[in-house]
Amino acid sequence: EMQLVESGGGLVQPGGSLRLSCAASGFSFSRAWMHWVRQAPGKGLEWVSVIKSDGRDTSYADSVKGRFTVSRDNAKNTVYLQMNSLRVEDTAVYYCASDGVRVEFSAFDIWGQGAMVTVSS
Amino acid sequence: DVVMTQSPLSLPVTLGQAASFSCKSSQSLVHSDGNIYLHWFQQRPGQSPRRLIYKVSNRDSGVPDRFSGSGSDTDFTLNISRVEAEDVGIYYCAQCTHWPPYTFGQGTKLEIK
């Protein structure tokens, strides 16, 4: 079964840091691009970041650029999201999602269950 | 950035009746390779999103054939031929042609009358 499992969410104060992990199984992780998408409470979906299969190329939403860093370890089948200088408005469920696993060049084909990040004092 | 606009925001439908969701983009979604990277997602209450349709009209594995997608250029539609209780949730479109950023519509909430 193709699966993504996020971990690392929690409560953090404004200005703090948190690292999310997303472990993949059941598919060829090293060949897939990986995304992070977030959803603030009661709101819609917002794309956050993407990392290509070899980890050399990354892109970010303007709202997180310079504060968040995506990385991956293909030996561990895991993608990470390092979140620094967190703001109250970063409070959301963070999903990892694969790209091109089921069908080539088709994004967001498999989703994890999400990790809740709450930024509050 | 490409803006995705969905309508209506709320869609009450009687069980067994059809439902239609609209998604419009602020610019053409035709990629230089000729493909249109417009996808549809379903998010049931309390669950993660799930992709239903990729590249306008292709159903993902396991998606019932009562779901269909159509459209071109800037105007796209998701149809459900006969709504079932399990279809309740929020439906999102997303464009993956012009990135970054990838952009989602604001969602349409399907509810049963």
Q: pLDDT tens-digit profile of A82-102?
A: 999 999 999 999 999 999 888
- 17-76 of B, contacting A, C-beta below 8 A: 35, 37, 39, 41, 43, 48-51, 54-55, 58, 60-61
Q: Is the peptide bond before A14 cis (omega within 30 degrees of 0)?
A: no
The burial class, CB within 10 Å (0-12 / 13-18 / 19+), for A25 is exposed
Is the pLDDT at A113 greater than 90? The verdict is yes
Total beta-carbon pairs less than 8 A apart between chain A and chain B = 69
Quick one: how far is CA B67 from the chain centroid?
10
pLDDT value of position A1: 94
pLDDT value of position A100: 86
Q: pLDDT tens-digit profile of A35-87?
A: 999 999 999 999 999 999 999 999 999 999 999 999 999 999 999 999 999 99
Q: How far apart are CA B77 and CA A83, in angstroms?
A: 36
Instruction: Tell me the chain A residues in contact with residue B43 when contact means C-beta distances shorter than 8 Å.
Output: 45
Nearest C-alpha in B relative to A47: B102
Would an 8 Å CB–CB cutoff place A59 in contact with chain B?
yes
pLDDT value of position A57: 97
Do the chains contact at B100 and A61, CB–CB below 8 Å?
Answer: yes
pLDDT value of position A105: 81
pLDDT value of position A103: 84
Which parts of chain B sit beneath pLDDT 50?
A: none
